[in-house]
Amino acid sequence: MNRTLPIGILMACSLLALTACGEREGDFGGSAERRPQPVQLVLTEEGRPAPSVLADEQVVFRGNGEEPETLDPHLAIGVPSSHILRDLFEGLTSESPEGDVIPGAALRWNISRDARTYTFYLRRDLTWSNGDPLTAEDFVFSLRRAANPATAANSARMLLPVLNAREVLAGELPVEELGISLLDEFTLQITLTGPTPYFLGLLTHPIAYPVNRKNLEQFGDQFSRPGNLVSNGAYVLTKWVPRVEIVLERNPAFREADDTLVERVHYLPIEDHSSEVQAFRSGEIDWTNQVPNNQFKWLQKNYPDELVVSPWMGSYFFGFNLTREPFVDNPSLRMALILAVDRQILAEKVAQFGEQPSYALVPPGIDGYVPFSPEYADWSQAERDHEAQRLYEQAGYSEERPLRVEIRYNTSENHKKMALAVASMWKQVLGVNTTLVNEEFRVFLQNRAQKVLTQVFRAGWISEYNDPYSFLELFRSGHGSNDYGYSNSTFDALLDQVGTERVRARRERLMFEAERVLMSDHAIIPLYTYVTKRLVSPQLRGWQNNVMDHHQTRHMFKLRWQSDAPAATENPGPEPQTGPDPAVSGDTEVETVTTEPAGQDA
Amino acid sequence: MNQEGILRHAATRFLGLIPTLLVLITIAFFLIRVAPGGPFDSEKVLPPEIRTNLDAKYHLDEPLLMQYFRYLGQIVSGDFGPSFQYKDWSVNELIRRGFPVSGTIGGLAMLLAFVIGTLTGIAAALRQNTMLDYGVMGVAMLGISIPTFVVAPLLILGVGVYAGWLPAGGWDWSWQRMVLPVVTLALPVIAYIARLTRGSMIEVLHSNYIRTARAKGLPEYLVIWRHAFKPAILPVISYMGPATAALITGSVVIERIYSIPGLGSYFVQGALNRDYTLVMGVVVFYGVVITVLNFIVDLLYAWLNPRIRYDELQ
């Protein structure tokens, strides 16, 4: 957790980066050639990796950030727990390595003409990890449990598109009234309040995973402990030592157990990013959750093959408090401040990891949606600065009467760097006097929500599902996360229409229009869009970059090291393995390894 | 030494523990509630329906005083309640798992610090104003002034990554994984103890009874061991009470950098996450540990220092 990282540790990290860069180059951490290389991937006719290229021990160690708060799928909130739960459980739908929705426990489904009723047909041979059959009734029970007020599931908000979910959560209707019904042993129907194109994606979220009723009734709140937990995914929980490790073993009862190559996966909760990199460098983990923000250059130089940077479903921006001076009813001033920021420099010099400069709210790459791009996106920075100065004067400010403003952020080295850079750009272009205010996270959240002290503040959003609506919704009048005080009836009306529109193209058009309205009101200062950044062992393959940053272990496998490889004789296309092969080590993209599920026919 | 006096003293001290802890619990309970924000606040604001359910589940919808008495009732029965953050574990379980780890590392570090610190301190005192003295005190100054968050990553890099002698972090109760954190934790304490010992040893060596001991022809090692050592380490002992408490209850920095599942992180994480039950549990636990250690130091003092007599205190 970045915000809890004492500055001292960050200093230590930079010091560490310095010493590391210093003299030992070419010795250990220096050149990639001296480190062992995996053999080249060879695929069988079915598109599976050939047994001859696989490492003998298929055990994966994944760095996983913080300790997961729970392994009860319905109570889980954070990213660390969701990584593990995706391995343990499977919802009605699942995800391919690319992040596309594919059939999971449900073999196929029908969507009614009004896009409000989904009928799911389950696979008939599904079992829990204890051998019990898994039927549609398990899903009905589980979704009802997730929405039950007594469960008090934090993530139950993901279920709000389901008919009556809000009323059930509020305790106004019994859970039986939730829009989910059992048609027969292997068929169930879910009714929604309105067309929700991302609903199939929502079903891959842990809140929609099935839990075993008998298991739950037997062990109560201890049911998610190793030995107790019964799951239906590719792996089962075998060990959990808090803040040490969580170990999962392959589930032989899983429907695709034969295609699951990794036998065991260890999730290690390593909170400190630098420590995680050290663990990776000393070979203790194959996959880091993060890398330290200030080590990009060094990592890029010394670990070019291992460093993987990929777009993520998140935007980083600054918000205005639109309910108070100086920004209320002052669009010229807001626009001036938006224009005077050089996003190219922010992305390249401050964020540094390949983050993309952003001119709107929704990040690119979300389910085919093309975000709105304002006019000034095509201008040069000189043109923007010029226009910014004009608007600044128009708003009544000048060199003699400069704007005094506060940028508020939660304590973190990254937010500070960003705020400092923006403040200096404003100073340079407009002569604005900016004060930086940092606050402890919860204090910051409270001040943001109260909209009294805030002027300009750090904001951002990382979506939990693959749809632009997740971002736009934040600006609806009265929305719980609308700390900007933004309110525009045209915008709200557009969002209402989005909620009922079932033609995909028209819905996208409406969302685009809503984003245009929002950006034309100059409600936020877009800065950049997020990336995921981690180190991955070149041995570990089968996964793909995706905007969700979801990576199930069952798609992965480990290649043999070249030094351990048996003499290549019976391979279909054996290559002499001398030196690093550019096809393997040259880029970080995995080429055409897909592990298509066997019985897919949706 | 008067046995009965010590017992009576011990009994009063233990009775004194109860009001101390009650005050501690009360202050901590209301202080953490005064802190802005709550355990369920996040950037993804919860819909009001869900927020209400959560508050009800954890009794946060009750008046604060009622929550306070509910909590007191729980503590009396030895139950710290469920953690808000780590939902699958009770606070009791987290402390039961965290303390042995912190206690082992902290205890070993204290032991190491005491042995090395006093030996080097005595050596420096006996060779006062020589190269040895300056060398030891110079290193000690370094040890005190270089913070652990610098030492730890450097040790990991040198010993763990480049040399590959020891693991870079993690925890499995093996000695290999204990070495680096114990050394890191002990370094500043060694330095401090060495300085303390040297100072008081020099003072003691100048006192009259040492001169008498030497004058009657006692061998130098006996003078040091039998007469000078005990009084010389008195300041070290009084320093060790709170220092041991600090070490065995876990250091956040060490735990974070070496990925160790000790108690220290629970305290800080608990406070940041407004995990009320976890913070309270750790605070109460700390309170007990510190009071008990201070009590032990008191007894040690009496044993080491002939000038303190319990029967006279009564």
Chain A residues in contact with B169 (beta carbon < 8 A): 270, 275, 278-279, 284
State whether residue A11 sits within 8 Å of chain B by CB. yes
Q: Do B156 and A278 touch (CB under 8 A)?
A: yes
CB contact under 8 A, B162 and A24: yes
Of A262, A235, A259, nearest to A249 by C-alpha is A235
Which of B98, B153, B258 is nearest residue A12 as measured by Cβ atoms? B153
CA atoms of B211 and A343, how far apart (whole Å): 77
DSSP string, A125-188: T-B-TTS-B--HHHHHHHHHHHH-TTT--GGGGGGTTBTTHHHHHTTSS-GGGSSEEEEETTEE
Residue B74, min C-alpha distance to chain A (Å): 19
Contact A445 B38 (CB under 8 A): no
**A156 touches B: beta carbon within 8 Å:** yes
Reported in sequence order, the residue ranges of A294-401 that DSSP labels E, i.e. its strands, are 307-320, 356-357
Per-residue HEC secondary structure of A83-129 comes to HHHHHHCCCCEEECCCCCEEECCEEEEEECCCCCEEEEEECCCCECC
Q: CB A8 to CB B147 under 8 A?
A: yes
Q: What is the pLDDT of residue B3?
A: 67
**Contact A166/B at CB under 8 A:** yes
Answer yes or no: is pLDDT of A33 > 70.
Answer: no
Would you put residue A234 in left (φ > 0), alpha (ψ -120 to 50) or beta? alpha
Select from B38, B45, B160 the Cβ nearest to the Cβ of A481. Answer: B45
**Nearest-angstrom CA–CA distance, A105 and A346:** 44
**Mean pLDDT value across chain B:** 87
On chain B, the residues whose CB falls within 8 A of the CB of A169 are: 47, 49-50, 53
Quickly tell me which residue has 């969700």 as its tokens.
A548
Phi and psi angles of residue A240, each rounded to the nearest 5 degrees, phi first: -145, 105
Contact check, Cβ <8 Å, A19/B41:
no
Residue of A599, A10, A30, A240 lying closest to B253 (CA atoms): A10
CB contact under 8 A, A284 and B168: yes
**Which residue type occupies B35?**
A
Two tokens, residue A416: 């500070």
In terms of Cβ atoms closer than 10 Å to its own Cβ (0-12, 13-18, 19+), residue B185 is buried
CB–CB contact A278 B49 (8 Å):
no
Q: Which of A163-172, B104-113, B281-290 has the lowest mean pLDDT?
A: B281-290
pLDDT tens-digit readout, A268-278: 999 889 999 99
Distance CA A88, CA A86 (A): 6
* Count of alpha carbons within 13 angstroms of residue A333, beta-carbon side: 21
Q: Are residues A284 and B38, on separate chains, in Cβ contact within 8 Å?
A: no
User: Buried b / exposed e across A84-117, counting CB within 10 Å, b at 16+?
Assistant: bbbbbbbbbbbbbbebebbbbbbbebebeeebbb
Chain A residues with beta carbon closer than 8 angstroms to that of B98 = 243
Radius of gyration of chain B (CA): 24
d(CA B100, CA B250): 10
Could you tell me the pLDDT band of residue B144, with boundaries at 50, 70 and 90? confident
The whole-angstrom separation of Cα B235 and Cα A84 is 51
Between chain A and chain B, the number of residue pairs with CB atoms below 8 A apart is 179
Q: How far is A160 from chain B (nearest CA, A)?
A: 10
Q: Which of B52, B160, B172 sits opposite A282 (nearest CB)?
A: B160
Whether the pLDDT of residue A506 is over 80: the answer is yes
pTM score, whole prediction: 0.87
The per-residue pLDDT for range A221-270, each reduced to its tens digit, is: 889 999 999 999 999 999 999 999 999 999 999 999 999 999 999 999 99
Q: Using CB atoms, which residue from B37, B97, B147 is nearest to A443?
A: B37
Residue of B nearest to A68 (CA): B86
Both tokens assigned to A41: 């991937």
Q: Which of A22-31, A413-422, B98-107 has the lowest mean pLDDT?
A: A22-31
Distance in angstroms (rounded) separating the CA atoms of residues A65 and A375: 40
CB A265 within 8 A of CB A247: yes
> Residue A7: pLDDT above 60?
no
A28-34: Cβ within 8 A, 24+ apart: A28/B161, A28/B162, A29/A281, A29/A302, A29/B161, A29/B162, A30/A302, A31/A302, A32/A302, A32/A303, A32/A304, A32/A305, A32/A580, A32/A585, A33/A579, A33/A580
The pLDDT, as a whole number, for residue A582 is: 37
Answer whether CATH 1.10.10.10 is correct for domain B104-270+294-312: no
Question: Chain A residues with CB inside 8 Å of B268's CB?
Answer: 4
What confidence score (pLDDT) does residue B162 get? 87
Q: Best of B148, B149, B258 to disrupt the A interface by mutation (most A CBs within 10 Å)?
A: B149
What's the gap in Å between the CA of B68 and the closest CA on chain A?
22
Domain locations along chain B: 104-270+294-312
The confidence score (pLDDT) of residue A1 equals 39
Token pair of A360 as six digits: 């709107």
- In the predicted model, what is the mean pLDDT of residues A115-134? 95
Residues in chain A: 602
Question: What's the ipTM?
Answer: 0.88
Q: Is the pLDDT of residue A75 over 80?
A: yes
Strands, E assignment, A348-401: 356-357
Task: Establish if A15 touches chain B: CB-CB under 8 angstroms.
Answer: yes
| pLDDT score of A186 | 96
- What does DSSP assign to residue A40? P
